[in-house]
Structure 1
């Protein structure tokens, strides 16, 4: 999961013309977003993750060829795309028919009336097979009994490590490691190869960047953003312990440039032999084990490290949301159903390699022998992590709102973004953890007061 937006989240708005001009390679079709001139076309705004780039490459020769529907893609980095999605859907401008949203935005957007419900479309599409969607993923994209987004892929989080490096150093990775054990292993693996650091952890600002993994550490170390009566807990003992641990670990044994490192940077660091371990999204494994990856076959996968909880992996899905104001509802559903289908997974597997399938969303994927033959090193670990995630109770105390790596309220976008900037500054050594959390506590208290009625 890489994460988040502005009505809800985090980045500075950029005009559509500037975005498409600066990122021309990411704008599909002659007209880019809003520029489709075909009788049947849909405009899709999506994040620039590897799985989405594969989709962009495969669409014209497969979906458009079979349906006649032209798809105009606008592809942007996560922080930018979330901000733009929030603007377009909140205003119901209708510039984009479909956008990649997550299980964070889905219930919020649905409550606000910004999304078209998809339950009837899915029920009327016999080839789609809604019942095949993994229950935890399906539930996270449902609001008041109706499906409002269909998953492109799902993920949790786990720990990835270089088996060959550990063997050479005589290190043993526990089957279910604690964070204390991980910190010890990071210290011992630091310098195992020239230029190699012990671990990669996100430090880049963004509620879906550094805040995502950090919050899972907070949960398992006894902390929470808010207690059950909405009292902010960012200076509480659990949150403080976890943040000190995280910041100290990445500063002592983490990747160079940690304050600017997010999902993509850590993926590159592990692939290029710059780090021995990485705690992050299960979706990363497809790239690590893909054709041409220099570390394919060298990576081990174990559950997200814990301390006080039995599990600590997050739950996340990049999914397709259909804007309610879209004038191309039928064509948009045809694109969504294709992009989320078993047939699309088979297309990716047969053309690009089975490790690159956007998995983590369908039960049938984990019974497909072709997928398992390629994704065997990480398939079971991914499915187990997704199924064991508990958004309602991810920590050791009751929570006032659901969410593992986020708090599922609209204000968390902005709150998480501002807190992430404080944490990133602490990782950079520009402020102390105590100062960062004191400032963050004040921000969180304002949000909590809104909900507690104080």
Structure 2
């Protein structure tokens, strides 16, 4: 039985126990995403309930797009359905400024908030006050099969260009053997395919908007980036890629079906885990590619964080859980249970100073360097009126980004041409940004 399966069974048991735990004083309802690190956390929460026998935990575990929709609807209406939310660094400052989140003040003395990586903490703070605690942080990078690259006679440098990636994808593709040279996100969503495509477009020198808030999908940079993405995926990618997001591509890579996968750095521990990955001993890493002549390797910065909605009726219990799940002690517990390579990455300076972690995680340096290289104030090499990284940090981006993602997913599925998808993206984006009053 794999670790992920054990965690899932443990999480299921915890959910059942929570429902039955009527004798406990407080029940926290926690909304979270169905990825490996969060599933692992659910399997380890006996430690929390032993320390807090008066608090029961009830989990609502959802696919990424569904999670975003559910928690956004609940918090915007002050529905009070959840006591702890799993949200990204996109939502935190926007929601904090709406007074929808409680500040994480008065955390336990041993929590050591100063240990959180500055790049991550900065995205979760408003006026130097933390409004969410990072469970893990990430940038993006290339993960590739070193054995296939050697067999194909191609080299993937530490800082590849997109020409390097396309050459390697072609060389490693063996469709008769069920091996695809490259796996990339195709599932529609502002945080699914548009996270990847925005980072890719940034690396081509593109931008979402010019300084007058005019959409830029009719620019040469966006046109080239989208056409290159579609060409690579159609020629060297897996079938049905328009339905593949992070989890689907992770599974394909672990099964040995992808020569390369360009995605979040957090995936590194899962593709190198011999219990879950058939290619664990043959994985190499490289920086997110750039277009030759453009000094921008994607500019991707994300963290999944635990936050407390202001509508909760159990703020102190919720704070106790957030402190437990994002603490240094939790990291140590994961390392003890599953090894240092499985520790939640990208959140704490102390983890990257830990020699045991550095020894166990060959991806540690690449992850830290990728995170530290991100400048959310300048995701594009061109002048822009917004901040962000693989997203635009405005409230309207959830709707705009998802609508654009649907266009590009349809193009990947062959339902519309690249030209039509870009034109539709240009029209719909400009309409919504004008309606919201930007650029006036």
* TM-score computed with the length of structure 2 as normaliser: 0.93
Q: Aligned match of 1:426 in 406, 411, 415?
A: 411
Q: Aligned match of 1:52 in 19, 38, 53?
A: 38
- The reply to whether residue 264 of structure 1 matches residue 251 of structure 2 is no
Residues 249 and 35 from structure 1, CA distance in 2 versus in 1: closer, same or farther, beyond 3 angstroms? farther
Shift of 1:447: 2.9
Could you say which residue in structure 2 is the equivalent of 1:82?
68
SS at match of 2:86: strand
Could you say which residue in structure 2 is the equivalent of 1:349?
335
Could you say which residue in structure 2 is the equivalent of 1:380?
365
Residues 107 and 291 from structure 1, CA distance in 2 versus in 1: closer, same or farther, beyond 3 angstroms? same
Q: Aligned match of 2:221 in 238, 250, 257?
A: 238
For 1:273 and 1:296, locate their aligned partners in 2 and report how far apart those are by CA, in whole Å: 9
- The reply to whether residue 301 of structure 1 matches residue 285 of structure 2 is yes
Question: Which aligned segments of 4 or more residues in structure 1 are displaced greater than 6 angstroms?
Answer: none
SS at match of 1:414: helix
SS at match of 1:161: strand
CA RMSD of aligned residues (A): 1.8
Unaligned segments of structure 1, at least 5 residues? 1-23
Counting only pairs closer than 5 Å after superposition, residues 27-426 of structure 1 correspond to structure 2 as 28-30=15-17, 38-59=24-45, 61-68=46-53, 69-118=55-104, 120-122=105-107, 125-191=108-174, 194-292=177-275, 293-307=277-291, 308-375=294-361, 377-426=362-411
Shift of 1:309: 2.0
Shift of 1:77: 0.8
Aligned residues: 425
Q: Aligned match of 1:436 in 406, 409, 421?
A: 421
For 1:82 and 1:233, locate their aligned partners in 2 and report how far apart those are by CA, in whole Å: 26
Contact 2:18 2:27 in 1 (8 A): no
SS at match of 2:323: helix
Shift of 1:27: 8.0
Contact 2:202 2:296 in 1 (8 A): no
Contact 1:216 1:312 in 2 (8 A): yes
SS at match of 1:407: coil
Could you say which residue in structure 2 is the equivalent of 1:11?
none
Unaligned segments of structure 2, at least 5 residues? 1-10
Contact 1:35 1:72 in 2 (8 A): no
Contact 2:201 2:207 in 1 (8 A): yes
* TM-score computed with the length of structure 1 as normaliser: 0.90
For 2:337 and 2:344, locate their aligned partners in 1 and report how far apart those are by CA, in whole Å: 13
